[in-house]
Structure 1
Amino acid sequence: MNRLALPLFAVSLSLVTACNSEKAKHSEPPIFHVSSPLRTDTSIAKSYVCQIRSKNHIDLRAQERGYIQNIYVDEGERVHTGQALFQIMPNLYRAEFQKAQAEANFAEIEYNNTAALAEKGVVSENELALAKAELDQANAEVELARTHLSFATISAPFDGLIDRLEVRLGSLVDDGELLTHLSDNSKLWVYFNVPEAEYLDYIMSAQIENWRVQLKLANGRLFSEAGIVETIEADFDNETGNIPFRATFENPQGILRHGETGNIIIHTSYEDALVIPQKATFEVLEKKYVFIVNDAGIIEAREVKIAAELPHIYILKSGLEEGEHFLLEGLRLVRPGEEIEYDVISGSEAIHSLDLYTE
């Protein structure tokens, strides 16, 4: 019996010792990681959907009714100022011009004869004035007929690209009917909408003068030329709360075309900024807070203001000073006023272990 009881006692003692060891292990207070804000230079890039428009983009329309007699250009062709594009059958207008010119010649002969007779006193000054008025009217009719004849040829008012042809050879067109579009793509206007809060940030910043932006094309590549924001429209859209901006881009290689879409990229620089990981914050009633840890290890909740946001980090506007310690993780495990054990991780190590963009 004694031989059996001794081993059983030894086993029981080892079990009790093991349990006590586990309890001691669980009762040890956890060690938390704390860090400090990192002071660094960084920048953020914001993207806005945009629409690309030619600075000069017009409708070319017929100015007289008639049949299309000649089409001198093709779709997509580059044309130059004054180049003939279309001709509407000019027979009628040429005949009107010739008739007006003949009547003007006759009126001039009548006037010269009347003037000769007036010098001899055969006719009165009133008859001479009447002849002069008839000559002026005839000359005006010539100019009107010449203008109508010029309408038969539609020419390019500026250098540009021809769009789709809306008519074909021999088509009967009415006065004002669309023939095609003409676009001058040497300079493009790019429109994008900015929310009110971001508009105020931009307006109140120093970067508004000579404000350069980038254009990301539909294929994801950046356009080679930087643009300059030149105008902001007068009113906000009441439905969206946005206001349109317009940036101008030079297009020396002719890559951009009227009607394209893309994204405007605006970079905002923050020099000597304080940044913290987003995971170190929590939100209460739409306000951001961090847990401050003082030298005694006591937890305190403090509100922080955010100036801007990057992936995984916040750029601080206020709330923390350089050198102050905040709880880096385990926010759900502590409460204000509680004392904790902690290890300090440098702000640089805490930030650069994240996926972010700093300079």
Structure 2
Amino acid sequence: MWKWVARSCGILVAAGCSQKSGPPPEPPALTVIVAHPLTDRVTVYTDLTGTVDQKDIVDVRPRVSGYVQEVKFDEGKEVEKDQILFVIDPVIYQAQLQQAEGQAKVYEAQLRKAEADLARNEPLAKEKAISKAEFDSFIAARDQASAQLLGARGNIDQAKRNLEWTKVRSPLAGRAGRAYLTPGNLAVADQSVLTTVVSVEPMYAYFDVDEATVRIYQKLIAEKKTESVQTGAKVPVEIQLKGEDGYPHQGYLEFVDNRLNPSTGSLTIRGVFQNPKIPGTESRPLSAGFYCRGRIPLGQPREALLVPPSAVTSDQGRKVVYAVGADNRVVAKPVEPGPLFRGLQIIEKGLTADDRVVIRGMARVQPGVPVDPKEEAIPKPKESPGGQKPAPPSGTQTAGQAPPPAGNNK
């Protein structure tokens, strides 16, 4: 019995020793969705927030004092330049004009008499029939009458201006506010505010640009990749108001402040926009105080490779994209991401248009793993209300994102 057991164990050991060990079998290939990077012509933008403001605003004050006699405009509606807005009671100023004109006639008569006296006595002075002192008195009388007449004519001009200023006119074309003084109230010259008029076209939009974005633009300007407002270039800018799609209002930058605001660390810039009436209405789309979103192109349009942002991952402090090689194995490709463009990630370096990039099914993907790739096409992005932001300096922000803009300070 014991001999049979020993013989059986020997046979099993010999059989086990005769089998050769080999590599473990490969796991089944993972199914992933791949796509070639989309090649598109892109214009990258800097996103900004800002406030619409009027170009001009004027507090309308009377230039003469008096009681308001009439309000001659519709409150809250547009007025033309030099349109009469208020009428100050002109009775006193009409009387002052008549008084000045009457005084001028008196001085005209005195001047005529003085000239006649001088003309009669001039031959006598030549014949020495009168003394030189007496003759000089005739000359002085004429000059005095002439000067008095000149002053009287100045009084007439001032009286005419005062009478004209009883008609308070709009200093600019724009939209008038409410009338602060109604008929019967006293308006004091150069003090009482009768109404306020704001210009309606063109309009301004003010934006505050953070320091990091300012540095990006300075670098692009130095490399001649974009233009500068300081050299007279009309850098395009577009804005959208709340509730609008896209950026329907086009304008250009025409002012950059000379220093950063020390309290916010931002630089104020200003765009100018036309503001025509909405067809069939008396309204205009832009009004002072409106919140707006703006965008400014970051350089010139260029060709770029685009992938979904989810295709870009981090690996030991670097950005990589998983691609599938010719042998259907995963390869990690280090890339340099640029900014976002309409929801897709621009890839500046590291990919070619022929690469097959894993865009879905990345959960268990590792370099060297065999996969079963299924190809799809990355859809071409459509214009969206969002816009794009510049890639910040390395190590300060996620690629394709800009620091949030500071609050607007005009």
The TM tier, using the shorter chain, reads: 0.7 to 0.9
The offset of 1:322, in angstroms, is: 2.2
Match of 1:177 in 2: 192
Match of 1:351 in 2: 378
Match of 1:234 in 2: 257
Match of 2:396 in 1: none
Counterparts of 2:28 and 2:246, CA distance in 1: 53
Size of the aligned set, in residue pairs, is 327
Match of 2:276 in 1: 251
Describe how 1:257-336 pairs up with structure 2 within 5 A.
258-266=287-295, 270-283=301-314, 288-291=319-322, 294-295=325-326, 297=329, 299-311=331-343, 313-329=344-360, 333=364
Match of 1:28 in 2: 27
Q: In structure 2, do the counterparts of structure 1 residues 137 and 74 end up closer, same or farther at CA, with 3 Å as the change threshold?
A: same
- Note if contact 1:44-1:310 (Cα within 8 Å) is conserved in structure 2: no
Residue identity matched to 1:166 = Y
- Note if contact 2:209-2:269 (Cα within 8 Å) is conserved in structure 1: yes
Counterparts of 2:245 and 2:382, CA distance in 1: 19
Residue ranges of structure 2 left out of the alignment (5+ in a row): 1-23, 122-134, 385-410
Q: 1:148 aligns with which of 137, 146, 162?
A: 162
Counterparts of 1:345 and 1:242, CA distance in 2: 49
Q: In structure 2, do the counterparts of structure 1 residues 339 and 78 end up closer, same or farther at CA, with 3 Å as the change threshold?
A: closer
Residue identity matched to 2:72 = Y
Normalization by structure 1: what TM-score? 0.75
Whether 1:220 and 2:249 are equivalent positions in the alignment is: no
SS at match of 1:157: coil
Match of 1:11 in 2: none
- Note if contact 2:321-2:335 (Cα within 8 Å) is conserved in structure 1: yes
Counterparts of 1:79 and 1:358, CA distance in 2: 38
The offset of 1:294, in angstroms, is: 4.8
- Note if contact 1:194-1:245 (Cα within 8 Å) is conserved in structure 2: no
Sequence identity percentage: 19
Match of 1:187 in 2: 202
How large is the RMSD of aligned CA atoms in angstroms?
A: 3.6
Counterparts of 1:213 and 1:86, CA distance in 2: 39
- Note if contact 2:337-2:345 (Cα within 8 Å) is conserved in structure 1: no
Q: In structure 2, do the counterparts of structure 1 residues 358 and 96 end up closer, same or farther at CA, with 3 Å as the change threshold?
A: closer
The offset of 1:251, in angstroms, is: 0.6
Describe how 1:154-173 pairs up with structure 2 within 5 A.
154-173=168-187
Q: In structure 2, do the counterparts of structure 1 residues 222 and 276 end up closer, same or farther at CA, with 3 Å as the change threshold?
A: closer
Residue identity matched to 1:185 = V
Residue identity matched to 1:147 = R
Q: In structure 2, do the counterparts of structure 1 residues 305 and 228 end up closer, same or farther at CA, with 3 Å as the change threshold?
A: same
Counterparts of 2:172 and 2:51, CA distance in 1: 23
- Note if contact 1:274-1:322 (Cα within 8 Å) is conserved in structure 2: yes
Counterparts of 1:115 and 1:134, CA distance in 2: 14
Normalization by structure 2: what TM-score? 0.66
Residue identity matched to 1:308 = L
SS at match of 2:335: strand
SS at match of 1:53: strand
Counterparts of 1:285 and 1:126, CA distance in 2: 103
- Note if contact 1:55-1:187 (Cα within 8 Å) is conserved in structure 2: yes
